[in-house]
Structure 1
Amino acid sequence: MRYLPHTAHERVEMLGVIGVDTIDALFSAVPEAAFRTFALDLPDHCPEFMVEAHMRALAGRNHAAGDGPFFVGAGAYRHHVPATVDHLIQRSEWLTAYTPYQPEISQGTLQMLFEFQTQVARITGMDVANASLYDGSTATAEAALMARRLTRRNKIVLSGGLHPHYRDVVKTYLKDDPDLVCLSPSPEGQGDIFTHIDGDTAAIVIQTPDFYGHLRDLRAAADAAHAAGALLVVVIAEVVSLGLLEAPGALGADIVVAEGQSIGNALNFGGPYLGLMATRKEFIRQMPGRLCGETVDADGNRGFVLTLSTREQHIRREKATSNICTNSGLCALAFSIHMALLGEAGFVRLARLNHANAILLADALAGIAGVTVLNRTFFNEMTIRVPQRAESLVERLAGRDILAGVPASRLLPGDPEVDDLIILAATELTTADDIAALVAALKEELA
């Protein structure tokens, strides 16, 4: 449908500026069959304030995470983000080009990324971290490719406890390669992953806490992988857990990837999020993405530069370690500010609060007739079995303004073994009143 200015005078004026005689001449390059002969079913134009009012009314129909009891997790978690974070990331010093190619005018951005890398290396217990990736799922896929380059082997074994979205992204990256072994998801654990390790295995990929909330024995996994010359890739979907659990690097991990959303970044309706990656120093040249380093300038002053960035933008595509062309810079900045505000003691205290609230939740759920808590171990997330279809139960609870977790069937459609499972998370924002409301509503619905 041709757009026409409102008045004949406007049309003549516009055509004169463009240099055509008629409206039809303006659209002469468009095939006649492409024109619509009927009006689109769209509302008439409105004043700006009426559009704003309409959009506010639509937004008011949402039930946001902070509007009531909230137990949703499964890879994205509601945590408190201090107002300081939002204030600082909006300062004009950060609102510059995202790629610090010219260090002489990008020292602030480069120093922030350097500090961010230091924080990630510290919490993961690894030697070096990059300047962030897109999110946890793409970081997992990049780790699988990195392991192949390092070992010159092709077989990748994914634990059954790996988040289904992460598994699917790895499958996409590896194009469903027959050397990719995906163990079946199981609410009881990761599957017998050790029996799949052989002389062709590049890496095994284990998530802890896993998709169902179970904690995994990384030391045993590292020993089994290393005995066969393979690598251990550890996936952390809830980065706050690193404030309480022993660092993967201390347990033998070779590559650690994580979703950093929980620190400094709100749920944001699903993104943008933040991929973390850390590894051992000897593997640094096969690590994808950017790496910022510290140096001195000609006058001996401390300075920062991009030291490694072997991406396709810089070298021939077939020689690049990765085709990732950017990093989640603003999300990394928010992460770094929040982590600096917490400090080591604050990060540990935050993790302890999460675990303490999860214990209260698990104990309360275990006291409901017909509900079984499947986890013997957990950090802030657990799986329960209910005596009916979980998806419809969660929907009914949502009708009571209680967001009671994620039905496992939502992320594992077509698997009848998970139809009665709900994955619930508790964070530092979960209150005793929230838990009481969930328990009362569950009892009524199950009765």
Structure 2
Amino acid sequence: MKKILPFLLLFVAVILAFVFPSVDLVEVKDSTIDTGDTAWLLVSTALVLLMTPGLAFFYGGMVRKKNVISTMLQSFVCMGLITVIWVIFGFSLAFGEDIGGVIGNPSTFFMMKGMLGNATWSLMPTVPIVLFAMFQLKFAVITPALITGAFAERIRFNSYLIFITLFLIFIYAPLAHATWHPDGLMAKAGVLDFAGGTVVHMSAGWAALASAIYLKKRNEPGHAPARISYVILGTGLLWFGWFGFNAGSAGGAGTLAATALATTTTASAAAAMAWVFFDMLRGKKPSALGACIGAVVGLVAITPAAGFVTVPHSLAVGVIAAVISNLVATWRAGTNIDDTLDVFPCHGVGGMVGMLLTGFFATKNVNSAIGGNGLYYGESHLFLVHIAALIGVSIFAFAGAFILLKVTDMISPLRVTPEEETLGLDTTQHDEEL
């Protein structure tokens, strides 16, 4: 029974595709669909999808040669599994009819019901709702993939598939609904998350920390990167795709998208250089790995703030996030927590720093839709709301992930055997070699 669980969802999907064909055509009078906005979101959706293969190279280059294929596949497979779940009921859980401000009705868009024609989503009224659903899908795809760096080199692949399914349903979807649905608890409280600092990076970061603690240390701890060139390639793909991630979240081809693209560029650049210079100040040699990690930390930190802060302040976001993440990574290395690729220091901490700095630097001069300015401009409400949200999301994501890890372990053992770990996951999990 345990062996067939990962394949059960695919079987159900095929059956549902025949039972519930999507033939409903929705025609909305006075539709406001704009071809320019639609074109930009089509491009952005493709750019965000490219980030997941980019992440595969980024992580794959950092692990030992015997685990490269397994690590990369853990990212790549999310493009398949998460897509199937999203189409069936995942999008509904995140953006369906509100239930208590924390989750959507799974039947609202079941099997992409109501997606044909010119129907739109209320917060992106100039693009077809099916495009909005596909754009949001790419965020849902990369989030569980981010977690994989924490338990790299020691997780069973079949068990991993079960865990990311549970993660999407019980952690990602509720956070997406609470933050991005107009009736969500955090949205109504005024929490700002332009493109996923809370929903994507904090949830993945805290789940990564829970995973590292639960699975314990590897038998052979330490880093022996297989291909630094893979890391550089992955960083380039991530940076390129992140323009769709952040600028696409503006929902259209306008000035807000241009601002988000500019802040994304500058924050990442500042963080990359801050990481390198900070290492040099501490007596280390400047490294390609450090520059790449710094760039990604900057991208993570600016994600919640991209459409709310000015370009000069994005430089500050990048520098602050890089220094703090660097210090946390150094601290983590001295503990017994084996977060293999430092997902928590980079994505979790980077996301939290970005969330707090959004509450500090956000201004209505950049985005008039927000309720108030940040602490930098003399208003404290937004900053205090973000502190409260940070605490709540951290507890929910960490505790929830720990519970899901335990449940998964009861269904199918999470960790490979010591012998399999020694031989490498490429051979023992996939019968393949680099």
Please tell me the TM-score bracket, short chain as reference: under 0.3
TM-score by length of structure 1 reads: 0.25
TM-score by length of structure 2 reads: 0.25
Q: Which has the higher contact order (CA 8 A, sep 6+)?
A: 2
Give the structure with the larger helix fraction.
2
Larger Rg belongs to:
1
Give the structure with the larger strand fraction.
1
